[in-house]
Amino acid sequence: MVKKTKLRVEHTPSFKVIALFSQQKDYRLCWLLNRHLLFDLKRLSPFAYPPYKKVETSRFSVYHYEDAINRLHYFLLANKCPEGVLFELPKNMDYLLLIKNPGAGFNQNDFISKVRKTEQLQGVFPLDDGLGKRSDLILYDFEMYADEAIK
């Protein structure tokens, strides 16, 4: 009898993920973050992906800012659209702030402290493994989307 071998490919996303809870519209939240953090978040084409427990793809708004000095890319990704949510957990999360390729010099706790001081944010929490089962797949697809969108 032939022994079967399974090939497992595991992808570790190169993002730090921060959950944002805010009732503001995406463009208003971008304006607040830009003003407080001295960013320049700009709208990208929407991220097309099926919402949680849905089959058809929906569009989630995305904003991007590149910090050329520190070689960081910041993405503000809406978690909600009229058809559903991208991530089920944590409950009622409105936005994800994704930081691509944070190096050893990036202090996540200091950054979160700065973000928490932004007006109209009800909550800001780091999410390392708290996004649920399909997070690796979504973040992998988002990474492919981001590489194409920021060229």
For residues 134 and 49, the answer to whether their CB atoms sit within 8 Å is no
Which pLDDT does position 150 carry in this prediction?
85
User: Which tokens in the block code for residue 52?
Assistant: 């949680």
The span from the first CA to the last CA of the chain, in angstroms, equals: 50
Which pLDDT does position 5 carry in this prediction?
83
Model pLDDT for residues 69-126, shown as the tens digit of each residue: 888 999 999 999 989 999 888 888 999 999 998 888 889 999 999 999 999 999 999 9
Is the model more confident about 11 or about 149?
149
Which pLDDT does position 13 carry in this prediction?
65
CATH of domain 15-149: 3.30.310
Model pLDDT for residues 25-65, shown as the tens digit of each residue: 999 999 999 999 999 999 999 999 988 888 888 999 999 99
